[in-house]
Structure 1
């Protein structure tokens, strides 16, 4: 199908509906609100737990047809989906900007990342699916990777396109069917967009279901006997509940959770570059990224000069409606999240921290904020903010930097800025983290790279590259011989 002649996202397609291979009426309807304006953007159908159970049965049946298709035909589905996404780039950017509050360059980044994920998924179809093993006698012995069957994916609101498709595409590529429950605040770019891409690209009906809904629908997906694996991305608190529930049902579960990420600025760092790294890592997408820089650990000898540069950047960033394409920060996703951000700032100030920039909001637009005199035990140090707030913490020497870097239950991403790569790497080796960036900030993700955190940032699961095989398949040992052996009884 020619992606240039297709209207990819037509609100009439999903009014009051969800996707189970067809567009069907939901048990109820829900409005999606544009965070920058507070106005309704569109209306979607909410699935019920009963409808989620029916989707699980349907996906279980459709999965067998999908795996029986020739592998090159399956690979073509992903390539066509990528072509459709690229051909409709402008339309998708507008939806991401309006639904999520992202600035246009960040929306473009999501499209590029999603396209890479789709092409990587296509490539998986021609990769090795197993290994030959040594065996005594005249028999063949090998291990092959088989799909789980049906994979349930629960994705968040903040970067919905990438965080949904990075699970859905490799799960499908390895032969699974998928139930995708996007965050209902971003059900279009985190769910229905993906449904449309695969619908138009020729994915067999029933292999992908998109089920917007509340916590009851998420629980239905996690507990259904037809669903063999759960991939969850979201807050640490919600992830603990999902992990507990999936484990009670003896299901594989991979959890990609929150972070309180550190950027360490050593005393030999280029402070202009370090301040740029901090501002980008902390304020990109209003800080609503699991990898966002939350704490800047700065050597006390350069802390004052660095902080001045950071404050100047914070005060010069423009905040407003990203649809105008003339701002660097858009809105926080909703009032509840905005109020949580502000409560952490206010609590930190009452605990002795100092406000150097920001700390104010207009509707959902929160100013880029800098806090100083932050120490362990304050809200700004301990809590994941998920908003545009950077906390500056000073240290005396490398050992104290390591101590402060380790003073967290999280372990997702760490950046270190120094002219000495050896010194920076030595520090990084002493701080457990899923991602380590020398002379860069903490936000970075590429579709072919295994991605995941440690501790409260996740259970060690990984998305991307070869790790997708580990997540979305299971091993089966196979032996083959012409004549059965003769046993003594």
Structure 2
């Protein structure tokens, strides 16, 4: 990480923010630590409202020339950015592991998907961006996509690279400039890394601003008149505040929020396959994933077999410092989150759930946990966990599974495991979800596929594929006549 030739060498960005150059922040600086060890990892600039205002003004000034520049040159920048990630893969993976508490496989996945988003952005530059409409004789009538101007991106700590780049890349590709605020717990993986990759790829100055900041910076982004849209990923509670403030200022919003997602396992499934799917969906990255399998719904005929296998997995999955290379789960992001997860587990047990594995922690390392006998009304059934907890509810009929899975105000993802596809489709067609996966768990995403949710999981926006045109551009109606008409007035 301290190699003089490293892309992320601290001497480049330490204590600074990015506007195309690395500059001092008017808000001062912020230090951040490694969740596994508590060791200080670095110091970034801390943006305040004045920094946001300066960035928004500069971004707006740079945007028009970018939107009308040669599409081939713009596409080449995204391809070069993807190549920079590949070139520095080990270095970047180390930062993600240390900063987010991720195992290497998770870090590699983030980097691969970030590269995929960049290549998808490059491909957008040769896609049609309009429609030829019906018109009167001698008139051309066109509906065309035009950029909003400046997009404000606010991203979280759990998958900071993917959940930033999936908005930044298509926003830039569609001709916008970007002001980005990464989470202060992961400012390198979610911000500095992206700035350095685009800097190395030759992105013109002024188009991307990276401003690690606290609530003040986010509020300024939602209020500044030069920022036309806010793309926010994070908790439902914060999303409500962002939506309220941005809406008051008449900005477009893309809100991707938390979800209570169900993984339904029917009684004709293979217990070994099912248990592995549950463990992956509930425990991957310590359960700190918005589409984690938060409700495990097991049909009674298979429940005991799956629970037995799941408990065995939970008791044997190693937990510890990801940099050791010998663990399956790392730390939760902070001590506050540990206490929240533990309180949900304890309150659910007090309400009648049975703890079969885990339910303990040391420092920020929470053991993989299995709760059975979970019923509606218990915290582990109702609340998004964001911790390594498999919350198991047993059901009898397919209709009961539909009712249990539907008992939420926001579901990002649904999984149904069964060899009987007709049963699976019957369920999928009746449970509201942003995306659904038959014979898979809920943690599934690809750069070219639409991703998002409704209700308390978001405002119905989508990231990925053709959805990016919907989010990051607006329609303009353009007519062209061969000569101006003579009006009677």
Match status 1:89 vs 2:113 = no
Pairwise CA distance, 1:310: 0.8
Tell me the number of residue pairs that the alignment of Structure 1 and Structure 2 aligns: 486
Counterpart residue number, 1:279: 279
- Partner Cα distance (1:424, 1:383) in 2: 25
Residues 355-434 of structure 1 mapped to structure 2, 5 A cutoff: 355-434=355-434
Pairwise CA distance, 1:488: 3.2
Residues 270-309 of structure 1 mapped to structure 2, 5 A cutoff: 270-309=270-309
Cα deviation, 1:447-470, whole Å, max 9, x if unaligned, reads 000100121111110000000000
Q: CA RMSD in A?
A: 1.1
- Partner Cα distance (2:137, 2:304) in 1: 73
Pairwise CA distance, 1:68: 2.6
Pairwise CA distance, 1:102: 0.4
Residues 118-267 of structure 1 mapped to structure 2, 5 A cutoff: 118-267=118-267
SS in 2 for 1:186: coil
- Partner Cα distance (1:36, 1:383) in 2: 25
Counterpart residue number, 1:468: 468
- Partner Cα distance (1:122, 1:382) in 2: 41
SS in 2 for 1:301: helix
- Partner Cα distance (1:436, 1:139) in 2: 44
Cα deviation, 1:34-66, whole Å, max 9, x if unaligned, reads 000011011111011111101000000011121
SS in 2 for 1:198: helix
Which consecutive aligned stretches of 4+ in structure 1 deviate over 6 angstroms post-superposition? none
Counterpart residue number, 2:7: 8
* TM-score, normalised relative to structure 1: 0.98
SS in 1 for 2:279: helix
- Partner Cα distance (2:486, 2:477) in 1: 21
Pairwise CA distance, 1:486: 2.5
Counterpart residue number, 2:80: 80
Counterpart residue number, 2:446: 446
Counterpart residue number, 1:37: 37
- Partner Cα distance (2:210, 2:353) in 1: 44
Cα deviation, 1:117-158, whole Å, max 9, x if unaligned, reads 000001111111111111012011111100000000000000
Deviates more, 1:93-102 or 1:22-31: 22-31
Counterpart residue number, 1:435: 435
SS in 2 for 1:160: coil
Pairwise CA distance, 1:5: 11
Counterpart residue number, 2:351: 351
Counterpart residue number, 1:25: 24
SS in 1 for 2:161: helix
Unaligned runs of 5+ in 2: none
SS in 1 for 2:469: helix
- Partner Cα distance (1:409, 1:220) in 2: 29
SS in 2 for 1:32: strand
- Partner Cα distance (1:394, 1:67) in 2: 54
Counterpart residue number, 2:106: 106
Match status 1:485 vs 2:485 = yes
Counterpart residue number, 1:311: 311
- Partner Cα distance (1:486, 1:409) in 2: 56
- Partner Cα distance (2:24, 2:168) in 1: 23
- Partner Cα distance (1:7, 1:69) in 2: 31
Unaligned runs of 5+ in 1: none
Match status 1:269 vs 2:269 = yes
SS in 1 for 2:222: helix
Counterpart residue number, 2:53: 53
SS in 2 for 1:410: coil
- Partner Cα distance (1:78, 1:399) in 2: 47
- Partner Cα distance (1:376, 1:48) in 2: 43
Cα deviation, 1:228-280, whole Å, max 9, x if unaligned, reads 00000000000011111111111100100001111101111111100000000
- Partner Cα distance (1:142, 1:233) in 2: 33
Cα deviation, 1:368-415, whole Å, max 9, x if unaligned, reads 000011000000100111000011101110111111011111211000
- Partner Cα distance (1:461, 1:5) in 2: 42
Residues 56-75 of structure 1 mapped to structure 2, 5 A cutoff: 56-75=56-75
Pairwise CA distance, 1:80: 0.7
